[in-house]
Structure 1
């Protein structure tokens, strides 16, 4: 195990760290004399010098932050809610419900991403349904406006195409505050829906196993002491499944920071910048 861990984890991390200290063209062998050692200059240039590289890097960091901050809580809460639902004694057809909830997790991510791409395209089923309801559907995968400014624009409070004031003139690490506070784009919201839907089933099974290990005597004792179901869940069930909750959040953080396939299939990285 130590050999496998070192070969496939520690060695690649060390190689990546070494390459980050080189002036490298990205194509030749970085472990030859063709790459010059520049130390931490790559990091200082990226964080201190204005330019396209820093803007693109910080844009990717901002997008990842929004994705992580939205997907992890949503999928955790949804998975726990589904687990509580199928664990209830009053629910019938638990086996069928577990299968239905878990099925998206075992389906190919590429296939599901392609289906979502057809559903949310301009002439897709989602926009057709919104049009039937009298709502003009957005350009899901080409609209780069942040959701915050888009929603405020619906009420006439701001113009998403014209950032104004101090938010546009001041910023942090190459991005204006207007960009930092814009929220996830419409395209990212679609990908977030996909991620939450396809991952909640797996985490539901983890929560379900934890809930079934909670002693029934503890819950019955809490109810006999006058606690309602909400209080029993908060003070008895939730502390009992805290290790599994920590595991689910950790796995969610790892998965969201490593996301690639769905983003690439549905938007090839990101919608174009509107300005």
Structure 2
């Protein structure tokens, strides 16, 4: 006995065939939902946007105006007595030919060597510590993570004062060096460049004429290649000591999110530990590596508090940085236009270097030749294992 099913009547098409019931479009309703969600999102974020606008965007725009004016720091920068000077402040820094240009060139030279040393060393050290602490066979991993991270949460002023004692003429560092027969320098009183000191050991004390006779930003090319001063070298060590722990945590988080299937495939293909790290682990850490390098680049170009607490630019202006020079130009010399101009030149340098870094570390598609070579190598490995 078959059950009868009642089919509801449907509208017939002109050809006599039953016409399917028309479904609602469904496009306008989600659009209304998205619109209401967008309004709600703007309402929730409005307080924070207003706060950022008042305390971040507006001051930045005011500082940009100050960099194009002759404001003396008194009264409003928008008063009628403040004159618009155009690019005069920037021209004085970059092509003025006077003391302002030379001071800015010296500050850039000092900071460039600082960045060139700190960023690679702290990145490599933090990655090494992360791989070391992330190993399952290591006992007491929590203790080592805390110990390595602790300098990062300590006050930079306190660390700088400690560094002044450690690297003093009779400090602990020179005491340890004396055990190995090395007469340590008076670190924070030595303005000589490290590269020039190394060249002096092989008898090179004067650069060629094409280096000593040409200048950039008021500094000769020979002085550009002087290297960081002995005093700045102590700050390099301090930066590596205090920042590696923070970046170590970023690398640890990235390592713990990596899947083990790729590692197992590489082990089956016969890759050793270094090959697995260089060819498998490191490429997967590319986003974290970009984050660490970017944060390190920004932090090293903005170094200020260590210089202010430690040497205040001495000895011989070999520890002056653009951030500290901007402070002294504005707050001590009362040349607020020049101080703001230094800050924005520094901002442009950071943005340009970050873009270059992004281009270098971007994801690249694997070429067909490399894919074919990898397939051939994998098949050969599989055949060898099959014969065995």
After the TM superposition, which residues 55-134 of structure 1 pair with which residues of structure 2 at under 5 Å, given as runs?
A: 55-134=102-181
**What is the CA distance between 1:18 and its match in structure 2?**
0.5
- Structure ID, larger Rg: 2
Q: 1:220 aligns with which of 251, 261, 264?
A: 264
Q: 2:240 aligns with which of 159, 179, 196?
A: 196
Determine the structure 2 residue equivalent to 1:185.
229
RMSD (Å), alpha carbons = 1.8
Q: Secondary structure, in 3 states, of the residue corresponding to 2:252?
A: helix
CA distance in 1, matches of 2:210, 2:261: 59
1:32 equivalenced with 2:79 (yes/no): yes
Q: Any unmatched runs of 5+ in structure 2? A: 1-47, 319-388
CA distance in 1, matches of 2:310, 2:262: 47
Deviates more, 1:189-198 or 1:94-103: 94-103
Q: 1:272 aligns with which of 292, 300, 316?
A: 316
**What is the CA distance between 1:273 and its match in structure 2?**
5.3
**What is the CA distance between 1:129 and its match in structure 2?**
2.2
CA distance in 1, matches of 2:73, 2:218: 24
Q: Is the 8 A contact 2:115 2:301 kept in 1?
A: yes
Q: Secondary structure, in 3 states, of the residue corresponding to 1:141?
A: helix
Determine the structure 2 residue equivalent to 1:166.
210
CA distance in 1, matches of 2:201, 2:54: 53
Greater relative CO, 1 or 2 (CA 8 Å, sep 6+): 1
Q: TM-score normalised to the size of structure 1? A: 0.92
CA distance in 2, matches of 1:208, 1:224: 25
CA distance in 1, matches of 2:65, 2:310: 33
**What is the CA distance between 1:29 and its match in structure 2?**
3.5
Determine the structure 2 residue equivalent to 1:242.
286
**What is the CA distance between 1:225 and its match in structure 2?**
1.2
**What is the CA distance between 1:219 and its match in structure 2?**
0.9
Q: Is the 8 A contact 2:104 2:217 kept in 1?
A: no
Q: Is the 8 A contact 1:28 1:34 kept in 2?
A: no
CA distance in 1, matches of 2:311, 2:190: 11
Q: Any unmatched runs of 5+ in structure 1? A: none
**What is the CA distance between 1:204 and its match in structure 2?**
0.4
CA distance in 2, matches of 1:84, 1:211: 8
| Number of equivalent positions | 271
Residues 36-93 of structure 1, C-alpha deviations (whole Å, 9 max, x = no match): 1111122223222211111111111111211112111111110000000011122222
**What is the CA distance between 1:164 and its match in structure 2?**
6.3
Determine the structure 2 residue equivalent to 1:41.
88
**What is the CA distance between 1:28 and its match in structure 2?**
4.7
1:4 equivalenced with 2:51 (yes/no): yes
CA distance in 2, matches of 1:19, 1:195: 32
Determine the structure 1 residue equivalent to 2:303.
259
**What is the CA distance between 1:264 and its match in structure 2?**
1.7
Q: Is the 8 A contact 2:106 2:317 kept in 1?
A: no
Deviates more, 1:10-19 or 1:149-158: 149-158
Q: Secondary structure, in 3 states, of the residue corresponding to 1:167?
A: helix
